[in-house]
Each structure stands twice: as structure tokens, then as C-alpha cells.
Structure 1
Amino acid sequence: MKNRNDEIWLLLDSRNFGGIESHVLQLAKGIKSFQRSVRVIFLCRYPTTHPLVALLNEANVSYRFLEGSFSSLLTYTRHHSPKVIHSHGYKAALYSRLLRISQYTSQQKIRYINTYHAGEISRGKLAIYDLIDRWSAPLSHCNFAVSELIKKRIPSKTTVLNNFINTENLIQSKGTQIAFVGRLSHEKAPDRFLELANQLSKVQFHFYGSGPMEKNLQNYSPSNLHFHGHQNSMDSIWPHIGLLVICSRYEGLPMVALEAMGRGIPVVSTPVGNMPTLICNNENGWIVTPDALPTAIKNWVNLPSSQAKNIQKNAQQTIQETFSSQAIIPSLLSAYQI
């Protein structure tokens, strides 16, 4: 292990496992594969064991839980002095920028990097945090966004950085399930998936995830729609899935799309975020309007095996060539200046 002063910290405040956490896991693995020292820093330890912990242990990635306060981050940083702090999520971003301000007279030379993940428009108190997060962007040395739409909301220089996954040891799925994977909340539009099940009663549909809309969806669920709840890891689930449906109202570049396509699972998606840069119609998946989702599902169900295999192969190739750790990490290391 290299000296702690050479460490790259991936900073986040998190209770559950979602898109940001999946991104951080892939980023940590990718950095490690390039022989750099990396540590995931959780701003706070919440009562329940974080599902990311088991995955970090499995990947042999170091991590640390702080006490939730800015002072605990300040103290830990003064003692360990990392080379880079890369924040994810508004709270981590704001803490890291406060940290930079507090370190202006310090001898520590830390590079502050931030990635913007959220594509939806926040409301209430979160909208205030979101506003401060965006307008304080210049206090980071470098800012990334996971889609052009998110980039446009940042009023200072921001670079679009594709989400990515580690493609080593991924096994092609031979599953047949048609699935929705993600949080059951308004921006992800699980109600559209439910409507698909209503319209295509002879096709089986599967929800993997939980969220604020879950109970209401269950109340109106047809018999061909199956709820599997929150999944701490999808590794044992992907082999059962044959088609991933992303019917979101807002997105960046969802990790689940990369995870699926990396395993040869095609994606049918609405034209949100950076999905059109990932999917080329009828080559490695489909981009369709919400109204056209039922037709896209029927076309997949009736697609000849030879065409389906070709699309599956193209989906995998897209990830390996453009959205893999090997393709993305070098540009990040350049931004880290290490």
C-alpha cells in the first residue's frame, strides 16, 4: 500500500445503495486497477450497516466512516492529508469546498474534484442545498457531470464524464426477465412500467427496487407485475434479466444501464439524460418515447433469436470500448494530476 499522502479519497454522505454508490464502487475499483491508492470516506455512519461496505470488502477497497460533522472531516484530513478528495453528492461537495477554504493557509496540497450526478430538479430544503452546490462549483479544482443536461445547470466550467463500469469478469446474461431496476420514485417513472404491465398482460414484468411510490404501485399492480424489493447487490439478479427498461423522467447516465449492457442485456429507454449517447437504435438497444414503450417491448419479445444475439453482442461491445474503467479512468487520473 502506498503512503497515505498519495491516497485518493472518494467522499460521500450515504445511507443506501443507488446510482452514486454504484458509481463510487466502480470508480474505486477502476482507480485500484491502475495501481493507485484509494479510500472511500463516508461522512457519517448511520444506524444500519451500509450495503456498500460488503462490496468494498469484496473488492478489497479501504473505507472509513466519519462522525457526520465538518469538524470530523477537517480533523481526519489534517491527520492523513490525501492527494485528492473527489466528492459525490451535494453534502460531500459542500463539505469538501468548506475544507478547501479552511485549508487556504495550510501546507497541505490537496486537489478537490467533484462529480454532479443528480438530473432531477430538487424541491424544498434540498433545492437550497442544490443551488449552493451549483453556485459554489468554482471552489472545486475540477467539476464533472454525468450528462450534458446536468452540465448545463452548473454556472461554471464543468466537463461531462461518462459513467463507467469495470468489465472484467462480467458474465453474459442468459435471462429472459423484463425488468425495472432502480428507486421507485417520481423521477424514475415506475408508474410507466406499471402501465406497461397493464397493457401487455401476457408478458411478465419485474420491479427490483423500493422507494416512496412502492405501496401505491403495489395497490394498483396487475398479476403479471412482480415486486422483488430493494437489492443490496444485483450480481445474483442480472443473470435472470433479458431486457432492462428505463422509463425515467430525469436521468444522467444511469449505472444500471451500463451494468446491464456490460452483461449483454439490451436496454429500452426513454430519451433522457445521456442515454442517446449510449444507445444506438436497433443496434445495441432502443431509445423510444414513453408512448412507444409498449411497442418496443412487443418487438423485443418477438425479435428473432439471431437479431437478439447481435444486439446483445453490440451492447457489450459498446460498454467495453467506451464506458469501461479502462476507457475512462486515465482522463480522471489526469484531472487528479497524479
Structure 2
Amino acid sequence: MKNQIHKKNAEIWLLLDSRDVGGIESHILQLAQGITSFQRSVRVIFLRQYDNTHPLTHLLNEANISYRFLNGSLRDLFRYARHHRPVVIHSHGYKAALYSRLLRLSLLTSHQKIRFINTFHAGEVSKGKLAIYDFLDRWSALLSHYNFVVSEQIKSRIPSKTTVLNNFITTQNLAISQGSQVAFVGRLSHEKAPDRFIQLAQKHTDHQFHLYGSGPMEQELLKPTTGNVVFHGHQNSMDRIWNNIGLLVICSRYEGLPMTALEAMGRGIPVISTPVGNLHKLIKHEENSWIVKPEQLSQSLIHWFSLSNQQKEPIQQAAQQTIRHSFSTEAIIPTILTAYQV
């Protein structure tokens, strides 16, 4: 088959609808950088621009990745695609996925050939209005040429054929962190279970706990604080902060394969995590990190506090090696580029 990806100026689009930086946006940044490292042309397409400057644009500018904001309509996406003729549109999130599939249907009578790829990221079961969009997203997946999912749990909910794909990060120039903070990094929402992190802090008042992120549970979490939790708020980028962290706690109720775990372990920061999503593929219990039931988080934390720096060192090195071997750009991008082939 002819490989249109190699045509001069042929663009791969990464499509999303987004207001802020979270797991999907972090994934897209890593994906865009990974695609570029394989000498492919990539552009991030935002379906619309909301009120504030999107924090991802600063990171894209730093990485020299092209991007474009549309006006939010399917018609504008259709017009822009007809004019710029991408060879691949890779959607992320239910709205981007639905738009891309409608675009594919609108191009059925056209000679323009686009490869439509989608990645399902969300592990939680949606409720209310979002449940309708979630249903439409899952059941229209057959309209994409290829669907990735980031965990077996998500795969089980998609009626069409999907491929489980490891999340990944760029590992070049990542040094082992020298930090000591016990940290939670993520959205302060029910599925991420930051309330469990606060409960841990309440059990270990001799230690400080650091919480990076914001979200709908923030005010609720601030009320019962014992004085040993530092709320750092939303972070546009964690790059300069990771070196302060010595242990990441993931206490989620639902997950796929969180980028925070990869970013931490890539810097030699071990993780204590609940057994959700595909974290069992990443974590080798008691070798590179720990994966335990929610009621065992405190016990694992006590074990971590008891280790000397010399005892922590092989765990830190094993964490970093796991990312380099199985969850790095070099390991994963070739699989994605294979799916992109026209």
C-alpha cells in the first residue's frame, strides 16, 4: 500500500476539545513530540478556543509544535480539512471523536482520503448528559479506521475492535529526582479520589503531604485539613516540580494508564497506587513501585518512610528503566505510526 504519511508536507492532526491541561492534553503533547521525532509533520487542532488562553499552547510553543483553534463548528472543521488536506486525524475525547466521525461521513463522496484514528482515554462511567455522549462515542467507534484504548477496562466497554496502547513519555534527559515530597498530582475529582490522599495525611501527621491540582472537590478537601497538607493548586506544567517529589500517590477509583505515573517513574519517582486501569502493566509490586488496595495505602506509606536512601535507590532505578523499556516514545510511537498508514 502506498504510504501517504511520507508525502511532502502531509500532516497528521491531533484533534481535541479542551479548556485546560489534564491527562489527555499531556498525552497529546507527548504524542506530538514523538511523531515529530520520527520526522513526521504534526499539528494539534483545537475544536474551539474558550475564554482564557489555553495553557497547552505555551507547552506546544516550547516544543515547536504547530496548532490551530477552530470556531467550534463541524462546518469549520470540514472547511479546514478540505483546504489543508491532512492524511490522518487522530481524535482524543468524545467530542473530538464524534466530530471526526461526522467529518468522515461527510467526505464519503469526496476524493479526499483521510485516515481517522481515535484514542479512548476515560475509564470512569459517565452520568447524566455526559452518559449520552459517552454512549454515542462508544457505539460510533466503528466509523473510525482504528481505535486505541489505554486500558483493558476501557476496551471492555467498546463494542468495536480496539487495541490497548500503553501511554508513553519522552525519556531523553530525564534525571532521577532528588526530591522527598509525598505528592498527589491530578484533578481534584471523585474518580481521582484526592479525599483518600487527605485521609492518608490525617493518619501521618508527622509528615507533610503535597497536593498539585484543582477541581470540583477542592473546597471540600480544604475543610478537614490537619495542617500537614500543602495545596499547590493547578499547574500548567510539572516539569520543574517533579524534582521536588520523592513519592507519588495514586489513589484513584477509576483510571486508564495515568500520565502522572509515567512522568513520575520516568524520573525515578516510585508510585504507591490503587489497582485501577492498566497500572498493573506498569507497576511490578515491590520492585519498581507498589500497587495495593485502598485500605493498604497507609501500610505501604509506612514502609516507604522506613526505607533508607540506599534501600530506595534500586526501586528508583527500576522505575525509570521500566518507562524507558516499555513506556517511552521510542517503544510506542512505531505502533501508532503503523495504525496511521493509508
TM normalised by structure 1 equals 0.98
Kindly indicate whether the alpha-carbon contact (under 8 Å) linking 1:164 and 1:325 is maintained by their aligned counterparts in 2. Answer: yes
**Superposed, which structure 2 residues align to 1:187-336 within 5 Å?**
187-336=191-340
Paired position in structure 1 for 2:29: 25
Please say if residues 9 and 41 of structure 2, whose CA atoms lie closer than 8 Å, have aligned partners that are also in contact. no
Would you say how many aligned residue pairs link Structure 1 and Structure 2? 337
Distance 1:125 1:84 in 2: 30
Quote the Cα distance in structure 2 between the aligned partners of 1:37 and 1:312. 35
Partner residue in 2 for 1:110: 114
| Other-structure match for 2:151 | 147
Question: d(CA) in 1 for partners of 2:275 and 2:7?
Answer: 45
1:170 is aligned to 174
Q: Distance in 2 between matches of 1:4 and 1:110?
A: 16
TM-score, normalization by structure 2: 0.97
How many Å separate the matches in 2 of 1:177 and 1:81? 48
Residue 305 of structure 1: CA displacement? 2.0
1:72 corresponds in structure 2 to 76
Is 1:90 equivalent to 2:114 in the alignment?
no
CA shift for structure 1 position 228: 0.3
Cα drift, residue 222 of structure 1: 1.1
1:221 to partner: Cα distance? 1.0
CA distance in 2, matches of 1:210, 1:3: 43
- Counterpart CA distance in 2 for 1:173 and 1:47 is 36
**Structure 1 residue 307, shift from structure 2 partner:** 2.0
Q: Deviations over 1:113-172 (max 9, x none)?
A: 000000001011100000000000000000000000001000010000000001112122
Q: How does 1:45-56 map to 2 (within 5 A)?
A: 45-56=49-60
Partner of 1:335, secondary structure, is: helix
Partner of 1:156: helix, strand, or coil?
A: coil
Tell me: CA distance 1:278–1:307, structure 2 relative to 1, closer, same or farther (3 Å).
same
Q: Distance in 2 between matches of 1:330 and 1:5?
A: 20
CA distance in 2, matches of 1:224, 1:20: 30
Q: Letter of the 1:330 partner, please give it.
A: P
Q: Given that residues 11 and 43 in structure 2 are in contact (C-alpha distance below 8 angstroms), is that contact kept between their aligned partners in structure 1?
A: yes
- What secondary structure, in the 3-state scheme, does the structure 2 residue paired with 1:75 have? helix
Q: Which runs of 5+ in 2 are unaligned?
A: 1-5
Displacement of 1:5? 5.6
CA distance in 2, matches of 1:10, 1:192: 34
Which residue in 1 is equivalent to 2:3? none
Distance, in Å, in 1 between the alignment partners of 2:191 and 2:249 is 14
DSSP-derived class of the 1:228 partner: strand
Q: Contact 1:205/1:226 (CA < 8 Å) preserved in 2?
A: yes
Whole-angstrom CA distance in 2 between matches of 1:233 and 1:334? 30
More deviation, 164-173/130-139: 164-173
Q: Counterpart amino acid of 1:280? A: K
Residue 92 of structure 2 contacts residue 119 of structure 2 at CA under 8 Å; is this kept in 1? yes
Distance 2:131 2:66 in 1: 33
Q: Kindly indicate whether the alpha-carbon contact (under 8 Å) linking 1:269 and 1:286 is maintained by their aligned counterparts in 2.
A: yes
Aligned to 1:122: 126
The one-letter amino acid of 1:304's match is: S
Distance 1:19 1:138 in 2: 24
Alignment gaps of 5+ in structure 1: none
